[in-house]
Amino acid sequence: MALRRRASRRLIRPGVPLSRRSFLTGGILGGAGLVLAPALVGCASSSREDQLVALADGLTADLLAGDEAGFRAWFSNDTLAERWAAGLPAYSEVRFAARGFDDAGARLRVTWRAPRDTAAAEHDLGVVVTDSGAGALRLASVRTTPRPVWVDEAITVTAREATCLLAGDGVPVAEWLDAADLAVGDVAAQCPQLLAVGWDRSLVVVVPARLASFADALGVGQDAYRDVAAVSWAEQPADTGPMRVYVNYPLCRDLAAIDRRVLLAHEATHVATRRTLTRAPHWLSEGLAERVGLVASPGHRSRNADLARRFARAATSSPDLPADEEFEPGAGTDLATVYALSEQAVAALFARAGDEAAATFCRAAGGGEAWPIPAATVTAWYRERLADL
């Protein structure tokens, strides 16, 4: 779908409520002009629109020219000016464009591309502007989410051959880049080639220091995502924007190296398969991400197997493949178990069908086509595997 962003989340703790994303429209509203004569509306709004265009163009031109003093002069907020002037030169294709006014204020579109991004990302932002007193607008703040992570935090950008880390203050850069490198290697080695079509084996990981920045970058509520460890996230524009991995650092600060690697490998699997598993049922996309992501850790695999075994022994009837609704909170089964069961379902599929037929199945199911192996067969394999755990 054109405007839907895909977010796949790996949870450290179960029982996390999901929040429904709400989207702001980019429409330009006439506001107070409704009671005025049409000529006056046109005159007044066009001048203000021109001022917004001048602000957007000025920001872009001064940044491109490396004119830091000129760039900072477009702000009425020194903190924001300083943070953006220091941070934005790390990105390419940075452009600001005027998007008119809505009933809450001005709108700007910002385009930016991090090293190793497959394309530039776009953010349509509601902003607060102030009048300079000299017929010009100044940028005071950003009032809407989702928004670029560098809006709220000073971000350090560090790129390696295949990976790039956008890190907030205090985030240990080398540790997370090491994990990202290993995760890319795990996915390249373990994810079926048929499913990683179009993946260039790169990974961009965003680790803001604060939960609020993590939530605002995604446009979600902090409470809903407090226990979500990481999210793979397709940026706008829809279908062509880059897919990045966002990490909830306060939750992941104390992870061991193997936990970081597994976390990123799970998310990197979603990045690698974004073109082939667009319409896959959750058990398939999450189960594959677990199967691929846990390859480096026998400990994680056995913990997942324990969860699945406990579920199977407690079950009072033959279990079905996890339904999409079971990945929502309040469905009765804890999410860690649902992930573990999904991994078993995918493992059963590959063990019984063979790698090639299983990958073909994933592609078909991921593309929304009829399953080349009947659901009853896939379910029977899953039940047999659970019974054998």
User: Which of 247, 291, 283, 288 has the alpha carbon at shortest distance from 270?
Assistant: 288
Closest distance to Zn ion from the beta carbon of 83 (Å): 31
Name the site residues for Zn ion (rule: CB under 5 A). 8, 10, 286, 289
Q: What is the CA radius of gyration of the chain?
A: 23
- The dihedrals phi and psi of 309, each to the nearest 5 degrees, come to -65, -45
Which residue's CB is nearer to Zn ion, number 137 or number 229? 229
Closest distance to Zn ion from the beta carbon of 337 (Å): 15
Residue 35's CB is within 10 A of a number of other CB atoms, namely 7
Closest distance to Zn ion from the beta carbon of 188 (Å): 18
> 138: which 2 tokens?
């100044």
Which residue's CB is nearer to Zn ion, number 94 or number 294? 294
Closest distance to Zn ion from the beta carbon of 8 (Å): 4
Which residue's CB is nearer to Zn ion, number 155 or number 294? 294
What is the DSSP secondary structure assignment for residue 199, as one 8-state letter? -
Closest distance to Zn ion from the beta carbon of 197 (Å): 19
Which residue's CB is nearer to Zn ion, number 262 or number 289? 289
Per-position DSSP letters for 155-173, written without gaps between them? -EEEE-SSEEEEE-TT--H
* Strand order across the beta sheet in which 203-207 lies: 7-11, 228-234, 243-247, 203-207, 163-167, 156-159
Contact in structure between 84 and 62 (CB atoms under 8 Å): no
Between CA 333 and CA 331 the distance in angstroms is 6
Which residue's CB is nearer to Zn ion, number 7 or number 125? 7
**Which residue, judged by CB position, is nearest to Zn ion in the bound state?**
8
Between CA 303 and CA 203 the distance in angstroms is 27
Q: Which residues contact 313 (CB under 8 A, 6 or more apart)?
A: none
Residue spans of alpha helices (H) in 315-373: 335-353, 355-366
Residue with the two structure tokens 């197997």? 305
Contact in structure between 334 and 11 (CB atoms under 8 Å): no
Between CA 14 and CA 16 the distance in angstroms is 6
Closest distance to Zn ion from the beta carbon of 274 (Å): 12
Closest distance to Zn ion from the beta carbon of 7 (Å): 9
Q: Is 77 buried (19+), middle (13-18) or exposed (0-12) by CB count in 10 A?
A: middle
Which residue's CB is nearer to Zn ion, number 233 or number 311? 233
Which residue's CB is nearer to Zn ion, number 110 or number 191? 191
Which residue's CB is nearer to Zn ion, number 5 or number 95? 5
Closest distance to Zn ion from the beta carbon of 266 (Å): 6
